[in-house]
Amino acid sequence: MKTLLVAEYRDGRLLGSTYDLVAFASQLGGESAMFLVGSDSDLPQYDGTLYLADSAKYGEFNPSVHKQLLLDVIDKEQPDMVVFNHSSYGWDLAPRVALAMGAAQISEVVDIVDGALVTPVCNAKLRREIKAKTAKCVVTLQAGAFTLSGEPSGTVAVEKIECDAKSLVVFNGYEESEAGGVDLSKAEIIVSAGRGIGKPENLEIIRSLAKALKGEYGASRPVVDSEWAEHNRQVGTTGQTVSPKLYVACGISGAIQHIAGMKKSEFIVAVNTDRDAPIGEVADVLVVADLKQFVPALTERLAG
Amino acid sequence: MKILVCMKQVPDMESKFRINDQGSWYDESDLAWRMNEYDEYSVEQAILLKEQVGEGDLTVLSIGPKRIQETMKKALAMGCDRGVHVNDVKVHEKDPFEIASIIAEFAKDKNFDMIFTGMQSQDRGSGQVGVLVAEMLNLPCITTIVDFAFDNGTVNAKRELEGGVKAKVSAQAPVLVTCQLGLNSPRYPTLPNIMKAKKKELAVVEVGDLLTVESRLETPKISLPEKKSGGLILEGEVGDLVEQLVTLLKERTTVFA
Ligand SMILES: Cc1cc2nc3c(=O)[nH]c(=O)nc-3n(C[C@H](O)[C@H](O)[C@H](O)COP(=O)(O)OP(=O)(O)OC[C@H]3O[C@@H](n4cnc5c(N)ncnc54)[C@H](O)[C@@H]3O)c2cc1C
């Protein structure tokens, strides 16, 4: 199996998730090469050819141009599989490339079983094995599903590439998330509210428990999206990454984007009415209960 | 202004899922169905755009069996003008490439000024369909948007990246955007609007009339994940649960130290 790995750059830096691609390729076995729109100043540690286009010239986000740069390399290398991260860059670019190649795409791969690729369905409550019918295929990898066992190492053989495709969109730069507020990454105890709290008034139940435990309160994304809590309380891939001694997830189902932000917690308690909620996969203790009854009772017990 | 919004009906994610007899998909009986969460934001954004420009025609398209009409009616009650139900009892066997081809085939000669889709579906989550439709129609596509503004034919959007950073992107209409959670606050249909929606056009097109390609993915096998975690599950009376948890926290953590 010959793979082409599509590395990722953000704000002039190589993203560490690039090494997930390397881990995946080595699990598959066979030759690989790498593609990057980036610069000489931060190159991946990898033994192989790196096709490098200059991000100063082509931009870090410019799908139609990145697509063309990549298609030229695919033409030359003839890989069996083109591998992306399932990230904001990868899920944007991969389908464009797959369509142009006439290839099937398998998104958010978490495992390889007997040659079939496994992807999650229904918030990871189900697993699905998929095979491409086309000779070549494109895949995106779930963040953290494949990781290098050791430190990355190696030296790339850089081959510079150019193209003159037309941009269909204009990239006007980045906007940082609002700074300030709490730094949850330093908290030792976090009690988080999920959509299961039902209504904004119930956030108070979660805050009271956090207070009784002398910790901070956090939230899942829907709670923040509904403006029941500030964005600086959000835990997950598009919020903060935390690793407290105790994390209590109340009414949180355990979507991968949430788990990615809290799975390094030392001890995880989940409170959920759904015994099958995927949060159970990472929880040390799953309390099957209605948080509206259980959480106040726990708070009272701790205060008493 | 002509606007298209693509919507999918999905099972409630809190359902208890079982595998069907063929082991090829989840058993669809006894499931509650609802609008894909990401599509709630795209339907809302499409309606907001129509309200902003003050005129236009907003079509909601959905592919699936008859039951999806219930969810389409919700989109109509929210404010879409007309519905196109692409009737397909085997929609779960279609791959993202086929679904996108069906939508592109429908849209290709309709000159939509804007197309909205969700960034992914909650059940399959491929995140491919919107992008593929745009590529098939040769439209600029901005994915994963959390902010949308339309000004005289220019779309100014913000894409959400990891860590909450946003990329500011603009493009000239016609554009396809894929909507991320939190883009806006989807409205609840009011009773008068639910009544009005009953009179709105809901055309049915047979999938065979729009499907011109073959699938690219092999019929999947689907299974329940093995429970990996050695985590404890506590069930019972709230009072007992509290005592059990406090004991566990004392034994296994240092939070009371
Ligand atoms: C690109 C991308 C980035 C994302 N980034 C993030 C992120 O950073 N952080 C994040 O959290 N999400 C993120 N998400 C969203 C994520 O996919 C989920 O939609 C989200 O985490 C779900 O939040 P939730 O668990 O609170 O809600 P739901 O999934 O709706 O779960 C609610 C849970 O509450 C339980 N419940 C209901 N009532 C009660 C009750 N009375 N008592 C106890 N339990 C109850 C239910 O059983 C269910 O398990 C992202 C998604 C995408 C696509």
**Could you give the CA distance from residue B201 to residue A10 in angstroms, rounded to a whole number?**
46
How high is the pLDDT of residue A177? 80
| Choice among A9-13, A177-181, B21-25 with the minimum mean pLDDT | A177-181
pLDDT in tens, A84-142: 999 999 999 999 999 999 999 999 999 999 888 999 999 999 999 999 999 999 999 99
A255-260: long-range pairs with CB below 8 Å, 24+: A255/A123, A255/A124, A255/A220, A256/A120, A256/A124, A256/A142, A256/A143, A257/A221, A258/A194, A258/A220, A258/A221, A260/A143, A260/A144, A260/A236
Closest partner residue to A121 (CB to CB) among B127, B222, B242 is B222
Residues of B in contact with A266 (CB under 8 A): 253
Average pLDDT, chain A: 96
Radius of gyration of chain A (CA): 22
Cβ <8 Å between B164 and A294: no
pLDDT in tens, A208-242: 999 999 999 999 999 999 999 999 999 999 999 99
A234 is in an annotated binding site: yes
DSSP character at residue B26 = B
Longest dimension (CA), chain B: 69
How high is the pLDDT of residue A1? 92
DSSP character at residue A125 = T
How high is the pLDDT of residue B229? 64
Note which residues in 224-263 of chain A have CB less than 8 A from chain B: 224-226, 231, 234, 237-239, 245-246, 253
Pick the CATH number of A2-160 from 3.40.50.2020, 1.10.8.60, 3.40.50.20, 3.40.50.620: 3.40.50.620
Task: Answer yes or no: are the C-beta atoms of B146 and B182 closer than 8 Å.
Answer: yes
How high is the pLDDT of residue B228? 66
Closest partner residue to B241 (CB to CB) among A88, A124, A287 is A287
pLDDT in tens, A100-113: 999 999 999 999 99
**CA distance readout (Å), B131 to A225, B135, B173:** 24, 6, 15
Contacts of A72 (CB under 8 A, 6+ apart): A161, A163
**Could you give the CA distance from residue B47 to residue B57 in angstroms, rounded to a whole number?**
10
Question: Residue of the nearest CA to atom 26 in ligand 1?
Answer: A194
**Could you give the CA distance from residue A282 to residue A270 in angstroms, rounded to a whole number?**
9
Question: Residue of the nearest CA to atom 7 in ligand 1?
Answer: A236
Beta bridge partner(s), residue B171: B155
ω into B96 cis (within 30 of 0): no
Domain ranges of chain A: 2-160, 184-303
Does the ipTM exceed 0.90?
yes
3-state SS of B70-103 is: HHHHHHHHHCCCEEEEEECCCHHHCCHHHHHHHH
Pick the CATH number of A184-303 from 3.90.1150.180, 3.40.50.20, 3.40.50.1220, 3.10.105.10: 3.40.50.1220
Which of B9, B14, B156, B176 to mutate: most A Cβ within 10 Å? B14
Question: Residue of the nearest CA to atom 47 in ligand 1?
Answer: A274
Atom of ligand 1 nearest to the CA of B180: 53
Residue B158 Cα to chain centre, angstroms? 19
Average confidence (pLDDT) per 10 residues, chain B, 257 residues? 98 93 90 97 98 97 98 98 98 96 98 98 96 98 98 97 94 98 96 96 98 91 80 95 96 89
Task: Answer yes or no: are the C-beta atoms of B173 and B150 closer than 8 Å.
Answer: yes
Residues of B in contact with A126 (CB under 8 A): 17, 19, 26, 222-225
DSSP character at residue B3 = E
Q: Return the best residue to mutate from A220, A242, A263 for the ligand 1 pocket (most ligand atoms within 8 A of CB).
A: A220
Verify whether ligand 1 is closer than 6 Å to residue A277 (CB atom). Answer: yes
Q: A54 pLDDT exceeds 70?
A: yes
Cβ <8 Å between B164 and A10: no
What 3-state DSSP class applies to A24? helix
Atom of ligand 1 nearest to the CA of A292: 41
Verify whether ligand 1 is closer than 6 Å to residue A120 (CB atom). Answer: no
Catalogue all structural domains in chain B, each as residue range(s) with its CATH number.
Answer: 2-210 (3.40.50.620)
Query: The pTM is what?
Result: 0.95
Domains A2-160 and A184-303 in one fold: yes
Verify whether ligand 1 is closer than 6 Å to residue A195 (CB atom). Answer: yes
Verify whether ligand 1 is closer than 6 Å to residue A63 (CB atom). Answer: no
A98 is in an annotated binding site: no
Residues of A in contact with B168 (CB under 8 A): 171-175
How high is the pLDDT of residue A178? 75
